[in-house]
Every structure is written in structure tokens, then in C-alpha cells.
Amino acid sequence: MAAVAAIIFVVIALFGLAWPFLYTYRIKWRTIALDKEIKYFQNRVAIATANAIPGRTTEQVLGPATGTSRIPASNNDERKLAEREAMHGLIKEAIRMGANAVLDLKMVTDSYEHTDPKRFLVFPAVKFTATKVTCAGTAVKVAAAGSSPE
């Protein structure tokens, strides 16, 4: 019985030591996957922080589009992931609306107190300051590059 308890203790201890590395690896993998998707979608949707794209005429304004991060970011790696999640959500919403461009892009961060019982195994009631990222812009249809206005 003592041997079984010792083995269980060792397994739990190893898992506890490996947990931060697994969490960091998962964040980095998700960031890389979102970067690939954003790059793919940016071939279909032009994004500008200005209210017009130089050399292209705005044909139709479809309305506001927003994307919000899903994770509460508490460190630099999580903040980068949150920014990519927000941008990914914005681009997907713009495509869903039928847009081929997003104009007047703005990124807003909002900090708040967050308690995550799943984050810490030993101290489940620890509060920390988290950041939520929101990307917002106007979804539009613009003329193809090189087309002249009639």
C-alpha cells in the first residue's frame, strides 16, 4: 500500500513540476496556429488603421466588426496570444459580413481582477490582474487594386 501511495505521490509531483511547461507550450502553439490563420485571412481581407486604403475606393460600408480575446492575459506571452485571438475574431467577423477590408482598426486593452481556480493547483483562490484585448474596425467592401473609379 505504501508503494502505491509513493508512486501516486511521485506522479503527482512530476505532473505539478511539468504543468507550467505544458501550459507555456500550449500558449506558444496556439499563438503560432493563430499567426498562420491570420496570415491566410489577410490575403482575403485588407486591414488599415486609416479610414481609407490608398489607391482603392470604398464601395460599400457593411458596419462595425469586433473581435475579443477569450483568455485572461496576465503575462507577456498570454497578452500576445490575446492580441492574436482578438485580431483573428475581427477578421473572421469581417469575412462573415462579406467584407474584403477592415478600416479604422483600433486595439483596446482592458484590465480587471480575475480569479481562476484552474490556474493554480495549490492556491485556487489567488486573484491576479488580467487583460482582455478587443480589436474593432469598420468592415467594408473596396474596389479591387488597380481598378479605376467610374
Report pLDDT digits (tens) over 33-52: 988 998 888 888 999 999 98
In a domain, 46, yes or no: yes
In a domain, 13, yes or no: yes
Q: Cell 480575475, residue?
A: 114
- The mean pLDDT of 122-148, rounded to a whole number, is 79
Structural element, H or E, at residue 130: strand 127-142
Confidence of residue 121 (pLDDT cuts 50, 70, 90): low
- The mean pLDDT of 120-144, rounded to a whole number, is 80
Question: What's the CATH code of the domain at 29?
Answer: 3.30.110.70
In a domain, 23, yes or no: yes
Q: What is the pLDDT of residue 78?
A: 87
Distance in angstroms (rounded) separating the CA atoms of residues 138 and 63: 6
Domain extent at residue 121: 2-142
- All cell numbers assigned to 43: 490575403
Q: What is the pLDDT of residue 16?
A: 61
Contact assessment for residue 136 and residue 64, using Cβ atoms and an 8 Å cutoff: yes
In a domain, 150, yes or no: no
35 or 4, higher pLDDT: 35
Domain total in the chain: 1
Residue burial 58-81, b: 16+ Cβ < 10 Å; e: rest: eeeebeebbbbbebbbbeeebbbb
Confidence of residue 122 (pLDDT cuts 50, 70, 90): low
130 or 84, higher pLDDT: 84
In a domain, 105, yes or no: yes
